[in-house]
Amino acid sequence: MKYRLQAYLALLLALPSPLCAISVVYNFRIAQITKQPITDEENYNRHTAIALIFDQYSKTHNDTSQNFFGGLAAYIYTHNPYFVRADFAVSHFYTKDQCTTTFSGTETDDILFTAGYNFKFGDRKVLTPSLLFGVPTHQVFNLKHASFGYGLFSLGGQLDGSYPISTDGAFLGGVRYIRFFKRNAQDEYCNDYRFSIGNVQDFLVAWKNNWQPHGIELGYTARFLFGASVSPHFDDLIEKTDYIRSNWYAVYKYKFALGHTLNRLLLNVSYGFDHRPHVYGNKYIIFIWGSWNVNF
């Protein structure tokens, strides 16, 4: 009992928080932006390949910083009005406590599968319900060190849409809910736990405009992570895990054709922060990514 109490205290003091686990495949902004059709005209190309490079830097209120640099690959198959999508990513990352590197490594993200149906109404009005299923690619490392990928099975739903306001402009919106299921996890003392980050709920609002072949999108996303659980239970870990986060983003788009192959380049920059927790939450998050979409 005494040893277990000492392990708990050491764990709570050593970890900045399980917030250090991030995932790119579950990023709502990336999913919404990269799945947009390259052209609004009738298109018989059913395959879309996406290659994306990202860099995220964040700093918490207790002066712990993290940097994640890596790449994401995605594939979309469209058979109008249906589509299926698969996302996978890998990243190198490090965690610093003030000026000391406390952990660094390279890990794979979870694999996220999405299946949806595009309802089209009138002139370019679209409403898309989707189902999401996530598969972990590694153990749950949240209780040991910083982690890329949540390492948990998940199931969720998404509803997003587009409403044109002019020939070249449209409002975008979306909501997503994902439930993450408990898995076995260990701390650095090899104590066994059942852990889950709980539930994630995302909201997105944005405006986009095109002037051929260029485009721009400005938007805001809110994320609520709640219902985290760990067994054996200790409250401090849960209080560090649940958070409310805001992000503002801007995207530049450029599209071009190579023969019958449609291409689009995207460059995104976003700024965000955590409203809570106040001590262990992120003071700021800067996220930059660029992608190349190929429709063939």
CATH 1.10.10.60 describes domain 2-295:
no
How far is Cα 296 from Cα 291, in angstroms, rounded to an integer?
Answer: 16
Over residues 33-84, the pLDDT tens digits come to: 999 999 877 787 999 999 999 999 999 988 889 999 999 999 999 999 999 9
At 115 the pLDDT is: 98
Q: Tokens 């919404």 correspond to what residue?
A: 32
Helix (H, G, I), strand (E, B), or coil: what is residue 6?
A: helix
The span from the first CA to the last CA of the chain, in angstroms, equals 61
For residue 97, the model assigns a pLDDT of 86
Q: Quote the pLDDT of residue 90.
A: 98
Quote the strand ranges of 145-242, DSSP E: 154-164, 169-180, 183-186, 192-196, 199-211, 214-226, 229-231
pLDDT mean by block of 10 residues, the chain; 296 residues: 44 45 94 91 89 96 92 97 97 89 92 97 92 94 81 97 94 98 84 90 97 96 92 69 94 95 97 89 96 97
pLDDT given at position 229? 87
pLDDT at residue 20, rounded to an integer = 57
Give the model's pLDDT for residue 42: 76
